[in-house]
């Protein structure tokens, strides 16, 4: 009896989270895809045909005949959407690179720190991640404004005499993304560097490498797994970022997350926003699958 | 051990300065007397006092806390189960899909998650509001819990579980008597992480909400769009304070438990020897 109960329990361990994720994570994507093929209507919910399983298989087939690719045609016809996708990818790529440039020295410095203070440093990197994303982005508005703290500071020390216009430009978005996603870059690089065997760089230097060559030929290649994980953790969400371009970017900044949000909340066009989301997902499928492989590999190594 | 060079110290200090300066400035200017957030005009707590009279803000805070408590608790149970499934059952049908569904939400842009959940709720005819936000939050935070608990389970010494099983304990009993106490700190920090993620989510909440359920981030967002005010700085400071306190308590509890465990282990070895 107890054995049967245990067998059921061990099944439930898998089935409960599996079913939850299937229902709340995977199935919704199919619904998004389905609605992206339907027509906009002035109704609630604002699209036709309505998801209806009551008609059985024939009802589903009937509904499928009404599918249309109009929304996708519409997306290709309007150059605005194409530009939004391209500029999202561009902004995300630039920000990811900048985050890497800033994050790597921090992670490296942390990994070289005395062992006793490393847990504290780690905690200090994680802590901002626990404070609100919205608040951290908001904090930059007061800093980057033309009459904001950064310009006041730079004018006081005499570097500039005219305030720099940063807020509502792409630079503000870069700063916002680098700032918000920095812990995501630092943590995987740090954990890769921390695991590294220091005798390797010493050996390289004993064999005549300068510290810089030893870094590029030994340390950096060994930390590459962390770099890849960090870049994906920054790049993928940054492509679909909404809050940062909305609060820090200007009106001419095109990012697809913002386009989708406006399409949905202002235009109330659910089918078009579903089509926008479907294409965004298709663009991101490759990096996401790659990320999962990196992650799964890291897990099996930890075993 | 190589010594900590000046270059390394400078990059760490600059990096942390970059991470913390904006938050520190925000907190400082929440105590500013003036209505301008960028010009200092003396210390004052008037913006905090004003918050207590803002009923709609307090309502939003209450909704947010309820959603966060409920969703973090459910997400912790589901996430812990997911972590156990990933670590303990290395082969079952559909494992690749399962691990994919655990990792993908970590990087999925929030606009996609939000939109897809909303369309699901509409399709099944669920009334949008408190419950739909909670369900949405459980879904995206459980994956973070799973990753946190999973990393603890991977470094877990399975032989003590095997010992319990050999001594006749059922797997369920073994889990509650042996596994859960050992992974408890990770489960707890997973809960805190889920709680804070739920507390400050804007995008997914905005998509899945309905009439009458406004969360604090939604309230903050709609005010931020109108401009920076010291009142928002004050709310943000309170939120930061709550989170910092939560993290502090979590790390003290974890530390205590670890020390306790070490003591127990030493006592056990002393008893054997």
Give the Cα separation of B236 and B202 in Å (integer).
14
| Chain-chain contact of B112 with A281 (C-beta, under 8 angstroms) | yes
Task: Please tell me the distance from the alpha carbon of residue B77 to that of residue A199, in angstroms, as a whole number.
Answer: 43
Distance of residue B268 Cα from the nearest chain A Cα, in angstroms: 27
Task: Provide the shortest C-alpha distance from residue B87 to chain A (in Å).
Answer: 9
Top-confidence range, A50-59, B97-106, B256-265: B97-106
Q: Which of A85, A109, A203, A286 to mutate to probe the B interface, most B CBs <10 Å?
A: A109
Determine the longest span between alpha carbons in chain A, in angstroms.
82
Q: Is the dihedral of CA B233, B236, B241, B244 positive or negative?
A: negative
Q: Can you tell me the distance from the alpha carbon of B34 to that of B184, in angstroms, rounded to the nearest whole number?
A: 47
A102 close contact with B: CB closer than 8 A: yes
Note the pTM of the prediction, 2 decimals. 0.86
Pairwise CB contact (< 8 Å): B171 & A110: no
* Cross-chain residue pair B81–A109, CB shorter than 8 Å: no
Q: How confident is the model at residue A230 (pLDDT cuts 50, 70, 90)?
A: very high
| Per-residue confidence band for B71, with pLDDT thresholds at 50, 70 and 90 | very high
- B220, A10: Cβ pair inside 8 Å? no
> Between A and B, how many CB-CB pairs are < 8 A?
266
Both tokens of A224, joined, read: 């590459």
Peptide bond into A49 cis (omega under 30): yes
Assess contact for A177 and A249: CB atoms under 8 A. no
Q: Considering only alpha carbons, which residue of chain B is nearest residue A28? A: B116
Asked if A236 has any chain B CB less than 8 Å from its own CB, the reply is: yes
For chain A positions 20-39, those within 8 Å of chain B (CB to CB) are 20-29, 31-32, 35
Q: What is the mean pLDDT of chain A?
A: 84
Using a CB-CB cut-off of 8 Å, the residues of chain B touching A240 are 108-112
CA B99 to chain centre: 20
- Check if A234 contacts B (Cβ < 8 Å): no
Q: How does pLDDT run across B165-179, given as a tens digit for each residue? A: 888 888 888 888 888
Q: Please give, rounded to a whole number of angstroms, the shortest distance from the CA of A77 to a CA of chain B.
A: 22
- The per-residue pLDDT for A18 is 93
Lowest mean pLDDT across A57-61, B74-78, B207-211 = A57-61
Q: What is the pLDDT of residues B135-161, one digit of tens each?
A: 999 999 999 999 989 988 888 778 888
């Amino acid at each position: 009896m107890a054995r049967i109960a245990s067998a059921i329990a061990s099944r439930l361990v898998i089935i409960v989270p599996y079913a939850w994720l299937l229902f709340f994570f995977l199935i919704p994507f199919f619904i998004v895809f389905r609605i992206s093929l339907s027509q906009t209507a002035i109704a609630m919910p604002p699209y036709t045909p309505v998801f209806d399983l009551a008609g059985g298989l024939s009802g589903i087939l009937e509904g499928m005949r009404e599918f249309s690719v109009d929304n996708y045609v519409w997306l290709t016809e309007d150059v605005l959407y194409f530009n939004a996708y391209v500029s999202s990818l561009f902004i995300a790529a630039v920000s990811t690179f900048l985050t890497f440039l800033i994050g790597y020295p921090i992670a490296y410095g942390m990994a070289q720190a005395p062992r006793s203070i490393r847990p504290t440093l780690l905690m200090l990197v994680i802590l901002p991640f626990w404070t609100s994303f919205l608040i951290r982005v908001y904090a930059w508005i007061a800093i980057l404004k033309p009459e904001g703290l950064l310009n006041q500071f730079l004018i006081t020390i005499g570097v500039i005499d005219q305030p720099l216009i940063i807020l509502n430009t792409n630079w503000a978005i870069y700063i916002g993304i680098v700032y918000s996603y920095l812990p995501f870059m630092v943590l995987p690089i740090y954990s890769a560097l921390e695991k590294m065997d220091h005798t390797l760089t010493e050996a390289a230097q004993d064999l005549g490498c300068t510290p810089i060559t030893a870094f590029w030929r030994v340390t950096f290649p060994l930390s590459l797994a962390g770099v890849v994980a960090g870049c994906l953790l920054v790049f993928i969400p940054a492509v679909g970022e909404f809050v940062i371009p909305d609060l820090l970017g200007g009106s001419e900044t095109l990012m697809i997350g913002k386009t989708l949000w406006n399409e949905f909340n202002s235009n109330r066009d659910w089918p078009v926003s579903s089509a926008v989301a479907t294409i965004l997902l298709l663009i991101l499928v490759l990096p996401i699958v790659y990320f999962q492989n990196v992650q799964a590999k890291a897990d099996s190594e930890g075993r | 051990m190589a010594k900590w060079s000046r270059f390394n110290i400078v990059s760490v200090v600059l990096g942390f300065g970059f991470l913390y300066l904006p938050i520190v400035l925000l907190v400082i200017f929440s105590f500013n007397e003036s209505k301008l957030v960028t010009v200092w005009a003396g210390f004052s707590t008037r913006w905090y006092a004003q918050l207590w009279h803002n009923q709609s803000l307090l309502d939003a805070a209450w909704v947010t806390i309820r959603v966060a408590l409920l969703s973090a608790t459910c997400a912790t149970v589901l996430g812990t189960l997911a972590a156990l499934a990933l670590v303990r059952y290395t082969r079952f049908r559909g494992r690749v899909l399962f691990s994919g569904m655990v990792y993908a939400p970590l990087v999925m842009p929030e606009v996609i998650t939000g939109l897809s959940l909303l369309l699901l709720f509409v399709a099944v005819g669920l009334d949008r509001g408190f419950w739909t936000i909670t369900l949405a939050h459980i879904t995206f935070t459980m994956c973070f819990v799973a990753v946190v608990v999973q990393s603890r389970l991977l470094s877990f010494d399975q032989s003590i579980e095997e010992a319990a099983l050999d001594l006749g304990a059922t797997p369920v009993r073994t889990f509650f008597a042996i596994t859960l106490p050992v992974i408890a700190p990770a489960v707890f920090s997973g809960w805190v992480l889920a709680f804070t993620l739920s507390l400050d989510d804007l995008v997914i909440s905005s998509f899945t909400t309905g009439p009458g359920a406004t969360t604090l981030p939604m309230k903050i967002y709609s005010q931020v769009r109108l401009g920076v005010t010291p009142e928002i700085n004050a709310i943000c400071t309170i939120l930061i304070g709550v989170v910092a306190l939560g993290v502090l308590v979590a790390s003290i509890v974890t530390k205590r438990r670890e020390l306790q465990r070490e003591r127990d282990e030493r006592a056990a070895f002393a008893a054997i020897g």
